[in-house]
Structure 1
Amino acid sequence: MNEVFSYESLVHALSGAVGSVTAMTVFFPLDTARLRLQVDENRKAKSTPAVLAEIVKEEGLGH
Structure 2
Amino acid sequence: MASVLSYESLVHAVAGAVGSVTAMTVFFPLDTARLRLQVDEKRKSKTTHMVLLEIIKEEGLSG
TM-score (structure 1 length as normaliser): 0.97
What is the aligned partner in structure 2 of residue 27 from structure 1? 27
**Superposition deviation, residue 42 in structure 1:** 0.2
**For each residue in 1:30-62, what CA deviation from the matched residue of structure 2 results, as whole angstroms up to 9, or x when unmatched?**
000000000000000000000000000000002
The DSSP-based 3-state class of the residue aligned with 2:55 is helix
Aligned alpha-carbon RMSD (Å): 0.6
Aligned residues: 63
**Superposition deviation, residue 26 in structure 1:** 0.3
What is the aligned partner in structure 1 of residue 45 from structure 2? 45
Instruction: Provide structure 1 residue ranges, at least 5 long, that are not aligned to the other structure.
Output: none
Q: Which runs of 4+ in 1 moved over 4 A?
A: none
Cα distance in structure 1, aligned partners of 2:62 and 2:41:
24
Percent identity, aligned pairs only? 78
TM-score (structure 2 length as normaliser): 0.97
